[in-house]
Structure 1
């Protein structure tokens, strides 16, 4: 008996998908460039591209067109989600490839103190706030403990891309404070992905003692397997690909490694982005990383897939929810805890390391930027059902506000550091310390 072939995508569904991608990309690139022109992170404009096309704006201005462009049928939206998921997995993989672990080695204990203090203080405060938020903001069936843990993870992460770009624009990437910020951000990234994977596993399998133990052990097992088995395998695959003078084989192998790692952790009940991040780190530490050959992958991800993904994230924001007093009060509380917790933690870690007030403030500003990572965390929470529309909107607002805050505060703090350094030079204190490692790419 012959099998019936699977029908191809319907003509109308393909038309809607193509127009969705075209409009999202057009608006994301345009508003991203506009944001950059105003010295704001491009991700802010990319998110607002989705806000314009989503329930916050278009559904009120042109409801019929909004229903046609973004229909409520799950199948149609899943097509757009599939493109976004591919984009975010490759984006996280590229982010892992760009991390500079030699910074952590050079900055040592200081980076660890700043990172851990700036990580665990907002984590604890976020968990506490999660338990205090009204239950009406939680989606039905969500365990309050899982929600509180997830909110803690969402508030403790940092995103170094915004701060790396700001430091490079200010020609301060080689200064000690800049290097410490980036090194602390690397540690934050690693621990943040690990925590996200554990909490996501708990949300999937439940909170029994055995399942919690499994949620803790599985990510640890993934890391051990990656170090013992994955690293030599990745090194072998990249070495073979790099024999070709063309960039194509290297790009294909790197993408294949990221996608296979994502599939492996997803099959284990962990987050797919955790596998993508681990594989990106394996590529970065393989000794076979050829940045020039991987440039086409990075360009495609950052210029096309990432803007579409962030615009898709913006579609799911509903700013009209902030008109409700309970939601607005929750948003203000979460934002305040996110900012104060991160600043206080990083400041304490810096002061314990003997740094001055302005250096500590600069580190706090850098670590406070959530940006890309916060958006990815929020999307994971929405997909798992941990977050509802209101709490999702609140966390995206945290990502936007903290990303906007970081550059001006960092510039002000670094100006004071420069003034103090010039004063010390005038008093015979020598010139300010300058470090010379190559700057990381701003992902």
Structure 2
């Protein structure tokens, strides 16, 4: 890489990080998660404005491979953090309600997404038809667990029964949705060694059943001696990269290995390890690498060429995405005895897609399941469904209701805990 290329790369990174921070703060001022502004920033740097003149100047062809590498690293780190934050204790005391709502919020949008895929396949190049159909179902079923947690925090719902239930449902739903996406990746990207994908099951068992207990014991011993934070960070980074490479070799995407390694990180006995590692990883990921991913994704979005047919397809995509998620979660809540208002809150919250949806769509584009025109429409759907969450939540679940739900209750059943 020549000195001039390095200079262009550094200049592009400065613009990306600066615009992400600025638009993220603007989004928060408007009552939206910062990720909304950051994604919009990535789109604005792409070909949507001025025919791609901005992206062509800031990110010429010689620097794009380096940016793509940083974007891929950022996605792997983000998926590692999602796996790391999965907490099985969320289901404690409300496993039945969370399971029913999660399955409802997966099955209905998945089924509607499959029907939508058959409709769209006639007007779009889709590659493998089975992979496209399954992908559209999985894409409609996604809920962004980390963005949901931020929305709950911003609205004072994190310590309420409905907030805990929503997080539990999102955690279960995301695991199911990622499993569906793994099937799509296996169908579309198996290459010449389709048998390798079968190794993901023993690999997951190895990580969760062998590596996790070993890490827990080692972390407990080192907590006493106080190892250098950098040593722990390097060890975790090495395991993360090896796990990502392993699933990539199996014919899946590297993000699945990163997610599994995050889920394999120990909870008990590893408080010191998590305290040393998490702040560094989250800071590097959110400040530098994820904005690069938004930019890389935005370079593939062109909204300047949308015509009336595309707007009609976008309306149908939004109808399926919003109606499927809301209807599935609402019906799941009502079946388990959750009151109508709180069931509606669950339906609104489960529509949060955010960055997780963006990762899913990028994977679909890389696998050839999605083409750029449909990819652009799906990106708009991810933005709309995430942006509407906070607005609808404040209407359906006003602040005085939140205060009332923080009052300690003596009832213990999950259905009564979320009246």
TM-score under structure 2 normalisation? Answer: 0.90
**CA shift for structure 1 position 307:** 2.2
Residue aligning to 2:154:
169
**CA shift for structure 1 position 158:** 0.5
**CA shift for structure 1 position 318:** 0.7
Residue aligning to 1:47:
39
**CA shift for structure 1 position 405:** 1.1
**CA shift for structure 1 position 432:** 5.1
- 1:330 and 2:322 aligned: no
Residue aligning to 2:417:
none
Q: How does 1:198-213 map to 2 (within 5 A)?
A: 198-205=183-190, 211=194
Residue aligning to 1:36:
28
- Structure 2 unaligned segments of length 5 or more: list them: 413-419
Shift in alpha-carbon separation, 1:156–1:417, aligned structure 2, 3 A: farther
Instruction: Pick which of 369-378 and 294-303 moved more.
Output: 294-303
- 1:319 and 2:319 aligned: no
Q: How does 1:154-303 map to 2 (within 5 A)?
A: 154-205=139-190, 211=194, 215=197, 217-236=198-217, 238-239=219-220, 242=223, 243-285=225-267, 287-290=269-272, 291-294=274-277, 295-303=279-287
CA distance in 1, matches of 2:2, 2:337: 64
CA distance in 2, matches of 1:268, 1:432: 49
Shift in alpha-carbon separation, 1:19–1:199, aligned structure 2, 3 A: same
**CA shift for structure 1 position 160:** 2.2
- Structure 1 unaligned segments of length 5 or more: list them: 1-8, 436-443
TM-score under structure 1 normalisation? Answer: 0.85
SS in structure 2 opposite 1:320? Answer: coil
Shift in alpha-carbon separation, 1:170–1:136, aligned structure 2, 3 A: closer
Q: How does 1:146-161 map to 2 (within 5 A)?
A: 146-161=131-146
Shift in alpha-carbon separation, 1:329–1:241, aligned structure 2, 3 A: farther
Residue aligning to 2:92:
105
Instruction: Pick which of 223-232 and 236-245 moved more.
Output: 236-245
Shift in alpha-carbon separation, 1:434–1:40, aligned structure 2, 3 A: farther
CA distance in 1, matches of 2:353, 2:227: 38
Shift in alpha-carbon separation, 1:106–1:304, aligned structure 2, 3 A: farther
Q: Is the 8 A contact 1:127 1:149 kept in 2?
A: yes
Q: How many residues align?
A: 409
Q: Is the 8 A contact 2:241 2:258 kept in 1?
A: yes
SS in structure 2 opposite 1:321? Answer: coil
**CA shift for structure 1 position 420:** 11
Instruction: Pick which of 147-156 and 279-288 moved more.
Output: 279-288
CA distance in 2, matches of 1:182, 1:433: 22
Give the aligned CA root-mean-square deviation in angstroms. Answer: 2.6
Shift in alpha-carbon separation, 1:306–1:434, aligned structure 2, 3 A: farther
Write the deviation string for residues 277-322 of structure 1: whole angstroms up to 9, x where unpaired: 1111111546424342121222221222122212322222111132
- 1:77 and 2:77 aligned: no
1:411 to 349, 373, 394: 394
Residue aligning to 1:398:
381
